[in-house]
Amino acid sequence: MSITIALAGNPNSGKSTLFNALTGSNQYVGNWPGVTVEKKEGKYKKDKSIKITDLPGIYSLSPYTLEEVVSREYLINEKPDVIVNVVDASNIERNLYLSTQLSEIGIPIVIALNMMDIVQKNGDKIDVNKLGRLLGYPIVEISALRNKNIDKVIETAISVAKTNHVHINSFDEEVEKYIKEIESQVSSVGMSENRRWYAVKLFEEDEKATANLQISDAERKTVEDIIKRAQEEFGDDGEGIITDNRYTFISSAVADTVKKGRSGMTTSDKIDSIVTNRFLALPIFAAIIFLIYYVSVNIVGADITDWVNDEFFGEMIGGSVRAYLEGASVAPWLTSLIVDGVIAGVGGVLGFTPIIATLYLFLSILEDIGYMSRIAFILDRIFRKFGLSGKSFIPILIGTGCSVPGIMSTRTIENENDRKMTIIVASFMPCGAKTDIIALFAASVFAGANGWWFAPVCYFAGILAVVISGLILKKTKSFAGDPAPFVMELPEYHMPLVSNVLRTTWDRVRAFIVKAGTVILLATIVIWFLQNISTSFEFVEFSEDSSSILEAIGRTFAPIFSPLGFGDWAATVATMTGLVAKEVVVSTFGVVAGLGEVGPDTDSMIKYAASVFTMASGLSFMLFNQLCIPCFAAVGAIREEMRSAKWTWFALGYQMVFAYSISLMVFQFANVFLLGNPATAWTYIAGAIFVVMLYLMFRKPKEAKEMAKSAVAESGK
Ligand code: GDP
Ligand code: MG
C-alpha cells in the first residue's frame, strides 16, 4: 500500500531537517522563514512506497501569505493520507496554534515533537501523554537534528493512516454551536467531505477558502445572520472569536503539561546578550563580515587562487593544450579560440572557485549555528525606525549567496508594497558571481592599497544601497505604509552540523561550476569571436582595420560610462556582457587580456585591469556592476515574483538609474576630493544628484503630509 505523508509545521520547526533525514535527500535547511517556499517531495529511505512531502513553513492556515496558500491548497486538494505536524517543542505554545487548525482539514495527524534535545538541555518537562490526550493526536518525541526516533514517526503515521481516525478539537460550547449551525444549515457544507473546514472558514469569512463552495443566496444570508448573532454575543468578528478560542485552549493545555526547568538564562540567551546587544551588535556583525571576506578573498584568494589561475589554468592546462594543439597542426584560430578564449575566459572564472567555496562555507556555518537569524532580528530593530521591516532583510541576506533564491524568498512578505520593494533591492548584495569581480579588483586595482578592505566595503555598500533605496521608495505613494510586524523564532545556537554546512556549500559551488561550463562557456565563445572578427568581417589579425566588433561595440557605448570613470571600451563591454551572468565580466577581461602578450592567466588579467582602472574608477565600476540590473536569471526571478510587466520594468529602470547615480557620485567625488583632479561639469551634476537624493530620502512621506493637512483643516473648523 502506498502512503503519502505531508510534513507541516511552523517555519524553523525542523521540517526540512526531518525530511532530509527520512528521505536521504538534500533539501536546503535554513534558519529563517522562506527557505522552503515550494513543496518538495521525496521517498522514505527504508520503504520507497511511502511518499513524503515537505511543505513550506506556516504559522496558521489563514490565506495571508503565499506559503499558507501553497500549504493549505496542497492539504485540501491533494489529500495526503496523514499529516505529520512538526512542532518545535522549545516553542510549543506558538507551534500548537497551527496544530489546532490542521485537524479541521479532516486528515489524520501525528505530532512529531521536535527539538527534544533542547527541551532536555533546558531541563524542561513535557507530559507528553497528557498533552496527547488533550489534543487528541499521537505524539512522538524526536530530535531531527540528532536523528532520534525519526523512524518511529513514520511507523506511527502509517498506523494512524490505516485506522484513518480523524480527531477534531471542538471549540467551547458557545462557539461550537454556531459552527454546528452552519454545518447543518448550508447544504453544500453539510455534504462536503471537509464539512468542518468549510464551516469554520465560512464563519471566519475567509473568502479564498470558500470560493468554490456552491452556496445559494439564501444560505449566504443565513451564514451572515449566524455571524451577526455571534458578533453580538462576543463583541468580536468570526475570525477573532475563533482565534481567541484556539489560543485559550492551547494556553490551558500547555499550562497543564509543560513545566519549565531552570528559569535562568540558557547558553543561547547568554550569547545573545552579547551579539544582539544594542551597542555591540553592529560592530560584531561588521567584524565578522570583515573577517570572512578577508580570509576568503585575501588569504585564500592570494595563495590558492593564484596557484589555480597561474600554474593550473595558465601553465599546466593553457600551456600544455597550446603546445599539444600546435604540435597537432590545428588551425591557429582554433588554438586561439580554445586557449585564449575558452581556457582564459572560463578558467578565469573557475580560478576563483576557492574564494567562492570559502565564502560560502563561512556563510553556511554562520547560518547553521543560528547567527544569521540574529542579523535579521538586529537589522529589524534598527531599520524599523526608517520604516523598513526586518523581514525584507532575509531575502537580502539570502541574496548574498545568489539573488535568485533571495528574490524568491520575498514570498514570505505579506505586505505587497514591502514585497515589491524588497524584490527591487534584493540583488544589490554582492552575490557569489559578483564576488568574482571583487576578487579580481582586490588583486589588481586595489592590491597596492592593501585590497583587504575592498570586499567588505562592497558588502556594506550593498546594505547601504538597500537602506537608501528603502528610504527613497518608502516616501513614494506606491510603497508607503508601516512595515509589517516581524515575528521570527530565534533558534537556539548549536554547533554547526558538518553535513548541513558541507551540503549547502557544495550545492552552491556546484551550481557555480555548472554555470561556468554552460552559460559562461557560451558567452566566452561569443566574446572571443566578437573580439577576433573585425568590423569588416575578417579576422582581426589579417584585416585592414584592426578594430574588432567587440571593440567597436565597446567604443560606441563607452561615452555613456565616461562620466563614471570607465569609458574604456573593454570595461564597457564587460558591463554589458555581465548582464548574462556577472562572472562574464571577469571572463571578458580574461579573453581581452588573454589575447594580448602574456597568455591565459590571472597575471595578465590583473595587469590588464590595473592598467585600465584607477582606484576611483575601479570602485565606481564595481559598484555599477553590483547595483545595476542583475543577471538574466535574476531578472527572470524578478519578472516571476512581480507578476507584472510594468513592475518588472520599474524595478530594472530603478536599478539602472540608482546604480548610475551612485557610481557617478563615487567616481566624481573620489576623483576630485581624493585624487585631487579638477572638477568638471559632471562633478556638479553629481553634486546636484546628491542633493536630490538627500531630499528624496528625508522629505516628509506622502501620507504624513496629507494627515498633517487634514489635521490643520480639522483644527481650523
Ligand atoms: P524548517 O523551516 O521547518 O524546514 O526547519 P529546518 O529544517 O530548516 O530547521 C531549522 C533550524 O532548526 C536549523 O538550524 C536546524 O539545524 C535546526 N533543527 C532542526 N531540528 C532540530 C533538532 O531536533 N534539534 C535542534 N537543536 N535543532 C534542530
Ligand atoms: Mg524548510
Q: Whose CA is nearest to atom 24 of ligand 1?
A: 115
Domain boundary among 197, 215, 234: 234
Nearest ligand 1 atom to alpha carbon 13: 3
Q: In what order do the strands lie in the sheet with 109-114?
A: 40-43, 50-54, 3-9, 82-88, 109-114, 139-141
Average confidence (pLDDT) over 682-704: 88
Q: What is the rounded average pLDDT for all residues in the chain?
A: 86
pLDDT, one tens digit per residue, over 663-674 is 999 999 999 998
Residue 40 backbone dihedrals phi, psi, to 5 degrees: -125, 140
Instruction: Categorize the per-residue pLDDT at 610 as very low, low, confident or very high, splitting at 50, 70 and 90.
Output: confident
HSE-up of residue 70 (Cα within 13 Å, Cβ side):
21
pLDDT, one tens digit per residue, over 549-578 is 998 999 999 999 999 999 889 999 999 999
Q: Are residues 556 and 641 in the same domain?
A: yes
Tell me the β-bridge partners of 43: 51
Average confidence (pLDDT) over 96-120: 92
Q: Whose CA is nearest to atom 8 of ligand 1?
A: 29
**Residue 525, pLDDT above cutoff 60:** yes
Sequence-distant (≥ 6) Cβ neighbours of residue 626 within 8 angstroms: 428, 430, 434, 437, 458, 461, 462, 659
Asked, for residue 263, whether it belongs to a domain, the answer is no
Which ligand is nearest the CA of 118, by number?
1
Structural domain that includes position 36 = 3-163
Q: Distance from the CA of 59 to the center of ligand 1, in angstroms? A: 16
Q: Distance from the CA of 267 to the center of ligand 2, in angstroms? A: 25
Least confident range from 73-87, 93-107, 537-551, 634-648: namely 537-551
Is 374 close to ligand 1, i.e. is its CB under 6 Å away? no
**Residue 129, pLDDT above cutoff 90:** yes
Residue with cell 538586529: 378
Is 143 close to ligand 1, i.e. is its CB under 6 Å away? yes
Tell me the β-bridge partners of 53: 6, 41
Nearest ligand 1 atom to alpha carbon 15: 3
Tell me the β-bridge partners of 232: none
**Residue 638, pLDDT above cutoff 90:** yes
Q: Are residues 505 and 599 in the same domain?
A: yes
Asked, for residue 247, whether it belongs to a domain, the answer is no
**Residue 598, pLDDT above cutoff 50:** no
Sequence-distant (≥ 6) Cβ neighbours of residue 712 within 8 angstroms: none
Is 91 close to ligand 1, i.e. is its CB under 6 Å away? no
Q: Distance from the CA of 630 to the center of ligand 1, in angstroms? A: 32
The DSSP letter of residue 537 is: S
Q: Are residues 157 and 179 in the same domain?
A: no
Instruction: Categorize the per-residue pLDDT at 73 as very low, low, confident or very high, splitting at 50, 70 and 90.
Output: confident
Average confidence (pLDDT) over 293-310: 75
DSSP states along 169-216: ----HHHHHHHHHHHHH-HHHHHSTTHHHHHHHHHTT-HHHHTT----
**Residue 637, pLDDT above cutoff 50:** yes
Task: Tell me what pLDDT residue 35 has.
Answer: 53
Higher pLDDT, 674 or 304: 674
Least confident range from 33-37, 203-207, 414-418, 582-586: namely 33-37
Q: Are residues 334 and 404 in the same domain?
A: yes
**Residue 717, pLDDT above cutoff 50:** no
Mutate to test the pocket of ligand 1, among 7, 10, 12, 71 (most ligand atoms within 8 A of CB): 12
Least confident range from 39-43, 137-141, 424-428: namely 39-43
Average confidence (pLDDT) over 583-597: 77
Nearest ligand 1 atom to alpha carbon 86: 3
Sequence-distant (≥ 6) Cβ neighbours of residue 269 within 8 angstroms: none
Asked, for residue 228, whether it belongs to a domain, the answer is yes
Asked, for residue 257, whether it belongs to a domain, the answer is no
Higher pLDDT, 99 or 350: 99
Nearest ligand 1 atom to alpha carbon 497: 16
Task: Tell me what pLDDT residue 310 has.
Answer: 67
Is 301 close to ligand 1, i.e. is its CB under 6 Å away? no
CB-count exposure of residue 266 (10 Å: 0-12, 13-18, 19+): middle
Least confident range from 358-362, 450-454, 505-509, 684-688: namely 450-454
Task: Tell me what pLDDT residue 329 has.
Answer: 84
Is 194 close to ligand 1, i.e. is its CB under 6 Å away? no
Task: Tell me what pLDDT residue 405 has.
Answer: 86
Instruction: Categorize the per-residue pLDDT at 485 as very low, low, confident or very high, splitting at 50, 70 and 90.
Output: low
**Residue 356 cell numbers, joined:** 567562492
Task: Tell me what pLDDT residue 558 has.
Answer: 94
Least confident range from 39-43, 364-368, 554-558, 591-595: namely 591-595
Average confidence (pLDDT) over 307-316: 70
Mutate to test the pocket of ligand 1, among 52, 98, 145 (most ligand atoms within 8 A of CB): 145
The DSSP letter of residue 76 is: I
Residue 171 backbone dihedrals phi, psi, to 5 degrees: -80, 180
Domains held by the chain: number: 3
The DSSP letter of residue 276 is: T
Is 12 close to ligand 1, i.e. is its CB under 6 Å away? yes
**Residue 80, pLDDT above cutoff 70:** yes
Task: Tell me what pLDDT residue 599 has.
Answer: 44
Asked, for residue 710, whether it belongs to a domain, the answer is no
Mutate to test the pocket of ligand 1, among 17, 409, 411, 500 (most ligand atoms within 8 A of CB): 17
**Residue 382, pLDDT above cutoff 90:** no
The DSSP letter of residue 301 is: I
Residue of 15, 2, 79 lying closest to 47 (CA atoms): 2
CB-count exposure of residue 198 (10 Å: 0-12, 13-18, 19+): buried
Asked, for residue 517, whether it belongs to a domain, the answer is yes
Instruction: Categorize the per-residue pLDDT at 654 as very low, low, confident or very high, splitting at 50, 70 and 90.
Output: very high
Q: Whose CA is nearest to atom 18 of ligand 1?
A: 14
Look up the CATH number of the domain holding residue 206. Answer: 1.10.287.1770
Q: Are residues 343 and 376 in the same domain?
A: yes
Least confident range from 95-104, 257-266, 653-662: namely 257-266
Instruction: Categorize the per-residue pLDDT at 58 as very low, low, confident or very high, splitting at 50, 70 and 90.
Output: confident
Q: Are residues 179 and 228 in the same domain?
A: yes
Task: Tell me what pLDDT residue 229 has.
Answer: 93
Cα 207 versus chain centre, distance: 30
- Per-residue CA distances from 699 to 282, 388, 474 (Å): 27, 16, 11
Instruction: Categorize the per-residue pLDDT at 115 as very low, low, confident or very high, splitting at 50, 70 and 90.
Output: very high
Run of H or E residues at 707: helix 702-716
Residue of 592, 136, 32 lying closest to 340 (CA atoms): 592
Inter-axis angle of helices 602-612 and 432-443, nearest 10: 80
Asked, for residue 265, whether it belongs to a domain, the answer is no
Is 524 close to ligand 1, i.e. is its CB under 6 Å away? no
Q: Are residues 69 and 180 in the same domain?
A: no
Residue 510 backbone dihedrals phi, psi, to 5 degrees: -65, -45
Task: Tell me what pLDDT residue 716 has.
Answer: 45
Q: Are residues 198 and 148 in the same domain?
A: no
Task: Tell me what pLDDT residue 158 has.
Answer: 95
Asked, for residue 664, whether it belongs to a domain, the answer is yes
- Print the SS3 string covering 585-651: HHHHHHHHHHCCCCCCCHHHHHHHHHHHCCHHHHHHHHHHHHHCCCCHHHHHHHHHHHCCHHHHHHH
Q: Are residues 369 and 493 in the same domain?
A: yes
Please state, in angstroms and rounded to a whole number, the distance separating the CA atoms of residues 502 and 673: 46
Average confidence (pLDDT) over 658-664: 97
Domain boundary among 214, 234, 254: 234
**pTM of the predicted model as reported, rounded to 2 decimal places:** 0.74
Is 144 close to ligand 1, i.e. is its CB under 6 Å away? yes
Q: Are residues 150 and 217 in the same domain?
A: no
Higher pLDDT, 501 or 65: 501
Q: Distance from the CA of 86 to the center of ligand 2, in angstroms? A: 11
pLDDT, one tens digit per residue, over 186-215 is 888 777 778 888 999 999 988 888 887 888
Is 17 close to ligand 1, i.e. is its CB under 6 Å away? yes
Higher pLDDT, 3 or 611: 3
For 624-647, b where at least 16 C-beta lie within 10 A, e where not — what string? bbbbbbbbebbbebbbebbeeeeb
Q: Are residues 222 and 297 in the same domain?
A: no
Q: Are residues 213 and 155 in the same domain?
A: no
- Per-residue CA distances from 635 to 379, 658, 662 (Å): 26, 16, 21
